[in-house]
Amino acid sequence: MTTTQASEPMDLGALRERYRFERERRVRPDGAGQYQSAEAEFGYYAADPYVDGTAGREPLRDTVDVAVVGGGFGGILAGARMRQQGVARVRIVEKGGDFGGTWYWNRYPGIHCDIESHVYLPMLDETGYVPEWKYAPGEEIRQHAMRIARKYDLYPDALFSTAVTSLTWDEASGTWLVATDRGDAFHATYVVTSTGTLSEPKLPGIPGIETFRGHTFHTSRWDYSYTGGTPEGGMTGLSGKRVGIVGTGATGVQAIPVLAEDAQHVYVFQRTPSSVDVRANRRTTAEDVGADHDGWARERRENFLRIVSGETAGQDLVADGWTASAGLLEKLLPSFSRDQAGAAFEAAYEAADAAKMNELRTRVEQSVTDPDTAEKLKPWYRYACKRPTFSDKYYAAFNRDNVSLVDTADTHGIERITEDGAVVGDDTYELDCLIFATGFSVGVSGILSGKLPVQGRGGAQLLHAWARQGPRTLHGFSSNGFPNLIHMGSLHNASSVNFTHVLDEQAVHAAALVAAAESGSALIEPSAEAEDAWMAVMAKDAADHEWFHAECTPGYYNREGLGRPNTASAYPHGAAAFHELLKRWREESIGEVLRPRAAR
Ligand code: NDP
């Protein structure tokens, strides 16, 4: 196959052909089966490197008002919004040793949020905190999570280093029995689940992985006791060390430039290159972001959400790579508002997509001095096929003498790991340290994975109830037969690249449900008819993007190239429109979800 020069104009036919070629050489028949769970297969990779959570404590047998499963931003926001509604006892149960979720676990070097901090960090209006950088480092985000938890007094009742193992509805007391892996069996009047979507690290099933004698870890459990340093760098433990890193997704793109500063040599094992757009991180002032009046953060967040969800917004306040390419996100987000369709629209979409991807391929050529390396770093797929990434340091790292790009596209990744290193084709790379930036299993945590069994009214198992027709909810939050159980996450709800915004709207809604149930001495439980009606809304205008993802390079968006399931999983008319729908429903119709409860 001849390589095509990205900087030259390219006809769409040739581009489609190139994309097909690149996809086909990457699709593996084993699809998602190529991975293994870090937790199940190699407990070592999933262990908490930050705290020793094994210290004994007395199991709890008490009763709280609200139990929240998960202490990431979703759980913290649920707790905070419950407090604002006057709920007294909120107990958050979290596997990690503190609050933060994603930001607790992920502390790899270079970690930043690639969504603007002023719209990503929740509750800025409420906490008075104004981030100083357009894109915040991970530690600042983690500290903010803890700030919210402190402000809303969520620490005293929290259980850390603890996983909920089952939820069982107790009809007699009208409460949930919450069991954990630390022997707790306490009751909660309401349960909120917020267990995250990308929370379980995964490892490639590379033959021989268990034989490697050097040091090894997953990026979401960065071992600073070995590397030295901090997320800012200074990893003196790596001087004189040959380090391999597998994976060039959003994590790899952020970690590799920092790793290159300290390791003797870095081998980057790439299978599919990311698209890497301009970052332009910079210090900002309160004036820059309009933080001079109450509600400034809410307005900015709302503005961003509208733009990246295809809704009308007027001025673009954030004005970054996400908003500039918002039109190309349509195929990525099931909530994206689309009032255009048909052949003419798709043709214009494809042309705009090609122009953007050409621009990004040209960026590689202009940034990487070795033409062969530059060629390998070019992304050959449509913009929405893989999560876009942003960095001004990534490509420059490949101009260093101590960084080598090892292209593993033709061998479907590293072929074999030995005691001493990694084998790709005829080459063996001897390594002292092998780091997996290989991402997370999708949809394996929480209720839908079956790892958190939920038994509702009359002993009904939630997953059995959903087995025939798939999950059924009202607005994604609650289900018939499972009173006072509120789901947060990406089920039948809004989707956005700014997930904390979606979570905060969900937290507000969850707290309003609890407040309404409390004031009416009622249970939160939709009727089967209300669920039917909501499922019909979800299905009616759901976009079918199956064909688009079928042509994409493999990844977790399309089940590793084998097809994208369940496109009807989010409200199809825009995330902001969904939030308005919820608000109106809370004002006018919340009573529909309440059922009288027997006297407690
Ligand atoms: P990803 O799943 O996005 O990337 C995993 C990487 O590992 C891919 O490059 C993949 O290649 C590669 N890989 C997997 N198996 C092999 C193998 N056998 N050999 C070689 N390479 C392999 O994980 P990330 O941790 O990068 O990101 C996960 C998600 O977390 C992101 O999509 C994003 O949603 C979020 N995130 C967000 C950030 C933010 O700033 N907001 C920052 C970091 C992550 P291939 O593509 O070929 O499968």
Distance 47 CA to ligand 1 centre (A): 20
Nearest partner of 374 among 396, 389, 359, 355, judged by Cα: 396
**d(C-alpha 91, C-alpha 98), whole Å:** 13
Backbone angles phi, psi at 404, to 5 degrees: -120, 135
- What does the block give as tokens for 426? 């005829």
Contact 3, 380 (CB under 8 A): no
Shortest-distance atom of ligand 1 to CA 408:
20
pLDDT in tens, 498-551: 999 999 999 999 999 999 999 999 999 999 999 999 999 988 888 888 889 889
pLDDT in tens, 180-193: 999 999 999 999 99
pLDDT for position 39: 64
pLDDT for position 41: 61
Contact 268, 404 (CB under 8 A): yes
Encoded amino acid at 185, one letter: A
- What does the block give as tokens for 481? 């037969």
Ligand 1 pocket test, candidate residues 36, 141, 248, most atoms within 8 A of CB:
248
Angle at 164 between CA 158 and CA 165, to 5 degrees: 160
**Around 520, how many Cα atoms within 13 Å sit in the side-chain half-sphere?**
17
- Using DSSP's 3-state secondary structure scheme, residue 361 falls into helix
Ligand 1 pocket test, candidate residues 198, 199, 251, most atoms within 8 A of CB:
251
Give me the helix-helix angle, 343-367 and 12-24, nearest 10°.
70
- Number of helices (H), then strands (E), in the chain: 20, 22
Contact 515, 65 (CB under 8 A): no
Distance 359 CA to ligand 1 centre (A): 22
Shortest-distance atom of ligand 1 to CA 436:
7
Contact 37, 444 (CB under 8 A): yes
Buried-state track 31-47, b at ≥16 Cβ within 10 A, e below 16: eeebbbbbbebbeebbe
Say yes or no: CB of residue 247 within 6 Å of ligand 1.
yes
pLDDT for position 227: 98
Ligand 1 pocket test, candidate residues 108, 259, 376, 387, most atoms within 8 A of CB:
387
| Low-confidence residues of the chain: pLDDT under 50 | 1-8, 566-567, 600
**d(C-alpha 26, C-alpha 407), whole Å:** 12
pLDDT for position 29: 83
Say yes or no: CB of residue 269 within 6 Å of ligand 1.
yes
For 12-41+202-279+342-436, CATH gives: 3.50.50.60
The CATH homologous superfamily for domain 63-200+442-526+576-596 is FAD/NAD(P)-binding domain (3.50.50.60)
Ligand 1 pocket test, candidate residues 438, 441, 495, 558, most atoms within 8 A of CB:
438
- What region does 13 belong to: left with phi over 0, alpha with psi -120 to 50, or beta? alpha
- Using DSSP's 3-state secondary structure scheme, residue 69 falls into strand
Shortest-distance atom of ligand 1 to CA 274:
9
Nearest partner of 493 among 343, 363, 377, 333, judged by Cα: 333
Q: Where are the beta strands (DSSP E) in 38-104?
A: 63-69, 90-93
**d(C-alpha 271, C-alpha 293), whole Å:** 47
pLDDT for position 1: 37
Identical fold, 12-41+202-279+342-436 and 63-200+442-526+576-596:
yes
Backbone angles phi, psi at 407, to 5 degrees: -80, 120
Identify the residue whose C-alpha is closest to ligand 1 atom 1. Answer: 439
Q: Where are the beta strands (DSSP E) in 5-69?
A: 35-37, 63-69
Say yes or no: CB of residue 252 within 6 Å of ligand 1.
yes
Contact 233, 137 (CB under 8 A): no
Q: What residue spans define the domains of the chain?
A: 12-41+202-279+342-436, 63-200+442-526+576-596
Q: Where are the beta strands (DSSP E) in 142-226?
A: 164-170, 175-180, 185-193, 200-204, 215-218
Shortest-distance atom of ligand 1 to CA 26:
47
Shortest-distance atom of ligand 1 to CA 35:
15
**d(C-alpha 488, C-alpha 80), whole Å:** 14
Distance 467 CA to ligand 1 centre (A): 30
Say yes or no: CB of residue 110 within 6 Å of ligand 1.
no
Contacts of 341 (CB under 8 A, 6+ apart): none
pLDDT for position 217: 95
Q: In sequence order, which ranges of 237-382 are alpha helices (DSSP H)? A: 250-262, 296-308, 321-324, 343-367, 371-377
**d(C-alpha 228, C-alpha 400), whole Å:** 22
